[in-house]
Amino acid sequence: MRCLLGRAGPASRAGGGAVTDIAKKRYAQLGQQLQYDQLGTVRRQAEGWRNGLAGLTGLVGVVFVLKGRESVAGMPGGWRWVTALLLVLAFVLLLAGSLGAVRAANGQVGQRVWLTGDRLLSGILDEVERTQDALSTARRLSVAGLCAIVAAIAVSWLVPVETSASPGSSGPYVLVNTTGGVRCGELVLADPEAVTISTAGKKRWVRIPAADVRSVTPAARC
C-alpha cells in the first residue's frame, strides 16, 4: 500500500484539465486495505509492547538480583512482611500482565465466529477492541508490578538491618554467666585475667575473674 501511495503525487492533472487530488483516493484505498489488515496491525503492535514489557521486567529483575539484598533475614519484622508482600504483589501483577500481553499478541484460544462477511467483519472489529483492551490492561499491570519490585528494592536498601554487631539487636551489653550467678552490664574490657563490665548506668565497674566466668553472651538489654 505504501507503493500505492507513491504512485501519484498529491494532485495530478487528469486528462481533461481538471486537477484531481489523487492522494484522496490513495488514502481511501489505504483505508480499505487497513480494514483487512487492522487485526494483524494490532497484533504486531501488541507483540512490540509484549517484548518491551518483558524487557523492562527483566531489566528491573536483574537490578533486583544484582543490587538487592539476598534475603529479608535480619530486617525488622514489619519491614520483612512489607518486602515479602511487595514481592508477592509484584509477582501476581507481572504474571497477569505477561499473560495479558501474550493474549493480546496471540489472541484468545478457542474463539470462533461464523465466517460470513458481515460476521467476520464484526468479529474482527470485536477482536481488535479486545486485543487493545488486553494490551492496555497488560501495560498497566506490568507497570504496577515493576513499581512494586522497585518499592521492594527500595525497602531492602533503606531499611536498616539488625546484625549482631549493630546496637539495636544485641547492644553493648553482655550477660556474664559466672559460678556465682548471672551478671549483666556493658562490656568494658575482656582479657585473659578477667571480664570487666559496667553496671548501674556506667557508674560502677565490676571485675569478674576469668576463672569464675563460664560464658559471655551479647544482649540487647539487661
Partner 1 sequence: MPDHVATEFREHEAEVRPDEPFTVTRSEDGRWYTVKGYCPTCRVDTVFRVSYGVLGPPKRLWGRGRRAPEPLTGDIPVYCQCGYPHAERPPESPDTGCGAFWDVPVPPPEPGAAP
Residue ranges in contact with partner 1 by CB under 8 A: 1, 4, 8, 12, 14-16, 18, 20-22, 24-25, 27-29, 31, 33-35, 38, 41-42, 45, 121-122, 125-126, 128-129, 132-133, 135-137, 139
Nearest CB to partner 1, comparing residues 88 and 125: 125
Shortest reach from residue 24's CB to partner 1, in Å: 5
Shortest reach from residue 109's CB to partner 1, in Å: 21
Nearest CB to partner 1, comparing residues 135 and 176: 135
Contact 80, 156 (CB under 8 A): no
Strands 173-178 and 194-199, sheet pairing: unpaired
Q: Which residue, 133, 48, 60, 51, is CA-closest to 90?
A: 60
Shortest reach from residue 53's CB to partner 1, in Å: 13
Nearest CB to partner 1, comparing residues 38 and 177: 38
DSSP annotation of 138 reads H
Nearest CB to partner 1, comparing residues 20 and 196: 20
CA dihedral over 19, 22, 23, 25, signed as positive or negative = positive
The DSSP line for 160-211 is PP--TTSTTTTTTEEEEEETTEEEEEEEEEE-SSEEEEEETTTTEEEEEEGG
Shortest reach from residue 14's CB to partner 1, in Å: 4
Q: What span, in angstroms and rounded, lies between the C-alpha atoms of 138 and 99?
A: 8
Q: What span, in angstroms and rounded, lies between the C-alpha atoms of 61 and 33?
A: 41
Q: How far apart are the first and last CA of the chain?
A: 84
Nearest CB to partner 1, comparing residues 129 and 193: 129
Shortest reach from residue 122's CB to partner 1, in Å: 7
